[in-house]
Chains A and B, each alone.
Chain A
Amino acid sequence: MGRYVGTSVKRVEDPRFIQGKGRYVANIQFPDMVYVAIKRSPEAHARITRMDTSAAAAMDGVVAVFTGQDFKDGGCGSLPCGWLVPDTKVPDRPIVVTDRVCHVGDSVAVVAARTPYIAADAVEAIEVDYEPLPTVVDARGAMDEGAPLVHSEIENNVSYHWALGDQEACEKAFAEADEVVEIELVNQRLIPTAMEPRAAAAQWDAASEEMTVWTTSQNPHPIRLLLSAFTLGIPESKLRVISPDVGGGFGSKIFHYPEEVIVPWVARQVGRPARWVATRTESQMTDSQGRDHVTVAKLAMTSDGTFTGLDVETWANQGAYLSTFAPLIPTALYITLLSGNYKMPGVFGKVHGTLTNTVPVDAYRGAGRPEAAYLVERLVDLAATRLGRDPLDLRRQNAIPKEDFPYQTPVAFLYDSGDYDRLMTTAADRADYAGMRQAQAEARAEGKLRGVGVVCCIEASGPAPSAVAGSLGSAVGFWESGEVRVHPTGQVSVFTGSHAHGQGHETTLAQVVADELGVPIESVEVVHGDTGRVNFGMGTYGSRSACVGGSALVRSAEKVRAKVLQLGAHLLEAAEEDVVYDRDTGRVHVKGSPESGKDFGELAFAAYTAHNLPEGMEPGLDFVSFYDPANFTFPASSHICEVEVCPDTWEVRILRYVAVDDVGKVINPMIVEGQLQGGIVQGVGQALTEIGAYSDDGQLLSGTLLEYAVPRADLLPGIEVDRIETPSPHNPLGVKGAGEMGTIAATPAVANAVLDALAPLGVTHIELPLTPERIWRAVQAAGNGA
């Protein structure tokens, strides 16, 4: 055990943020810069019959106006999709449309002007005539016979069908079942809403023919690759992509967006640096959105409550185009999680990815896994009700026992480690579950609508062995790079291909490397987010940075230690087997005589002076590793939520929220708790307040923060978090992902609590979010509204 890993080291990145020195893309400004604004479609589906940019172009201060044809003629390629399941139909997604818009917010024309205000005025001055076309917005309705086609060449709006599981075992389970519970539910559209709106800036150096692009991305290297190979056409060697401080992502900043092409293309055209910053409204209508499933499912069990089969059919709304990883989310990150934390032999799921006249849908915090958890955990509660069983008790009965790990599910995953019974009993103890049930009985006796929700959830984080990802449809690998560069003074620079946008990597990865080398954390700096400084890396999503990015750094630090040890032995004139590397101090000394040793700094200096190296050793002290994980890691959680529903206003009030999570070994408990708390509130938002709503004609009804109800500080009274640890056996740190578990578990925990509260009124299901209006309607429909 080192000095730093496992302790709550205060974040080294904080001083700049708390003093207003964050280096966000919107802060980048150069003399002579042009400001880009984009004309957006107000129509969900329409043909452009006329466009007149002349008034805009003539305005004082306008530098240039460009149409879709200009981008096409100027060599910009369409945006590619980076995950294709078999027979995926991929609609063309131009950078700027030329003749037809497919969702509200589609880019129609581009202005570059001397100030952002002039650019906004010029956008208003562009005249566009639209001939509206029929629209479709519903995931399942898109496949209906005669439904309007989003793209005429894609039949029935079906981008792909996909299925996984043991269909035979599933059918057998239902044929032999004593009890079957069924559900049909919607997992509603969400808008990620990172607080920093997306932005891009670019500077073209005509002399060196080098382009620098700053973008609010979670993964600058893949963006550079896509810009170079598909959309912008500048060689990777001449293209530098920087994602400096990024103000939250939650998945929405993984993907390659049109503006990342528009801004550098414009900068080159006009010969001046360029910048675009989304308004919030623009972000809400162009950032890839999340969830949006319609699902019918049933759970089979024996009369004693043993789960035997799960049968799921889902229609997944992909929006108007396929965003960068869109087909991955409802397939390999959703169906694969349907076994939950339970032993069930007959799990089978199929999904239909459909296209609609809505904003593209892709990964949003949890990405597929929350959809699976919400479905499974609602079904388990329905099963408990059917059997007259306590929902916690039924979950414990069916949980995979700890001695069964590694556990092979019927839906492809091999769970690495876990102890779900201990997770649930820890949560029950922490929450005083029995006391909560007692209090609920007393509250009910007084006519109050009190409910308790309990869940046990699974996550798959840190995707994935690259070969497996490739076999499932990925166009990229999911390894990570990590470089440990020891400078001659003994200072250490760490270069990670992961990217932090709130997660605190500059602290946690420094903790890891400082412990690996036995150096003070103050001497370790972490560099990320710049293709000009960091080896190719895959970025941050899927809670992968510690388990994959951290592991790459451990491998590099091991290489540093091995070389330092060899050099130390040489300088101490001892055999390698007679010296030790003291990981508490970074000193190399002869075994049994720590006083006769060499400091880390001395050895680093000696590696660079190269005056006296062992035979065959190269000078320098700098190692890079590319770590490809052997498996996903499988965090798990048990959350318990206590609510009361007001019988007058039908508002939900959360009384207590208790979360016990297992994210494996923990590098920084303070940061992990912060990730869980933040994730939980996002999950509660899905349960209670948030919906990306569209009208039937494709208008986004929640396009600003006036309508899209992000949780506020008073939504919860506080969150009680606790942990158990079952280390991941297959990565050197024993860590599992911590970024998404909270979000995955919170939505079903709250939904189960609210439906438990409303059970005496005969309400068994309400679609999310559980707003007072929806609850009131459900109560009325159940005939108990008096």
Chain B
Amino acid sequence: MRHRVCLTVNGKAEEFDVEPRLLLCHLLRAYVGLTGTNIGCDTSQCGSCTVLMDGKAVKSCTVLAVQADGCEVTTIEGLAGADGLHPVQQSFWDNHGLQCGFCTPGMIMTAVEILDRNPGATDAEVRHGLEGNICRCTGYENIVKSIVAAGARGS
């Protein structure tokens, strides 16, 4: 039994026949071929696989591909524009907001939503906003710094 899923990924229309149990993260990685969305756990704890679905940050391992039917999905690959890096990406680079890079796509996508809701987010607000994302390398210091700085620059 397969279901047709039509969705837009990074502005491009995509269409697949999928098993109903297929997770969005696996659709993005194996079907669309966008491997920037990393998978770090199997209990929706780590947030590495966070993408934007209709503008909202979701953990793509908790979303069935069929639930994304008709949605607009933005992954880390779709964040930079023609004029270069997204300000959050640039800020992560400027502030050493990453080490091994594995949690980074999820962190950046979550940060985009945090700043979308609250462009002037403070250090404490950013720490609270990152509760669904785990980083094992940075101790979060420079991730928080990157997000606060991106917010300050944007506002």
Contacts and interface: CB of A to CB of B under 8 A. Distances in A.
B53 to A, nearest CB: 16
A1 interface: no
Contacts of A682: 136, 139
Nearest to B134: A710
A411 to B, nearest CB: 31
A677 B79 CA distance: 28
Contacts of B34: 20
B99 A678 contact: yes
Interface string A669-687: 0110110011111100000
Interface string B57-100: 00000000000000000011101100001000100111010111
B143 to A, nearest CB: 7
Interface in B1-51: 19, 21-22, 26, 29-30, 34-43, 45-46, 48
A196 B100 contact: yes
Given A195-B135, A713-B140, A19 B36 contact: yes
A716 B144 CA distance: 12
Nearest to B40: A195
B2 to A, nearest CB: 12
Interface in A245-299: 245-248, 250, 279-281
Interface string A12-23: 011111111110
A195 to B, nearest CB: 4
Contacts of B79: 19
B83 to A, nearest CB: 14
Contact of A19 (B26, B46, B77, B138): B77
Contacts of B141: 674, 677, 681, 718-719
B96 A671 contact: yes
Given A19-B80, A678-B139, A681-B140, A704 B43 contact: yes
B96 A20 contact: no
Interface in B102-137: 102-105, 108, 123-124, 126-128, 130-131, 133-137
Contacts of A670: 96
A706 B43 CA distance: 7
Contacts of B89: 18-19
B77 A14 contact: no
B139 A280 contact: no
Contacts of B42: 279-281, 704
B41 A674 contact: no
20 contacts: A17-B101, A18-B76, A18-B92, A27-B35, A195-B103, A195-B135, A196-B100, A247-B101, A248-B102, A248-B136, A250-B136, A502-B137, A677-B138, A677-B141, A682-B136, A682-B139, A710-B136, A713-B131, A713-B133, A713-B135
Interface of A: 10-11, 13-22, 24, 26-27, 29, 116-117, 193-197, 245-248, 250, 279-281, 501-504, 670-671, 673-674, 677-682, 704-706, 710-714, 716-719, 742
Given A16-B101, A705-B45, A710-B136, 18 more contacts: A11-B93, A18-B76, A18-B108, A20-B35, A20-B77, A22-B36, A22-B104, A117-B21, A195-B136, A197-B39, A280-B42, A677-B138, A678-B136, A678-B138, A679-B139, A680-B139, A682-B139, A719-B139
Interface of B: 19, 21-22, 26, 29-30, 34-43, 45-46, 48, 75-77, 79-80, 85, 89, 92-94, 96, 98-105, 108, 123-124, 126-128, 130-131, 133-144
- The 5 A-B pairs of least Cβ separation, nearest first, read A20-B36, A247-B102, A17-B101, A681-B139, A502-B100
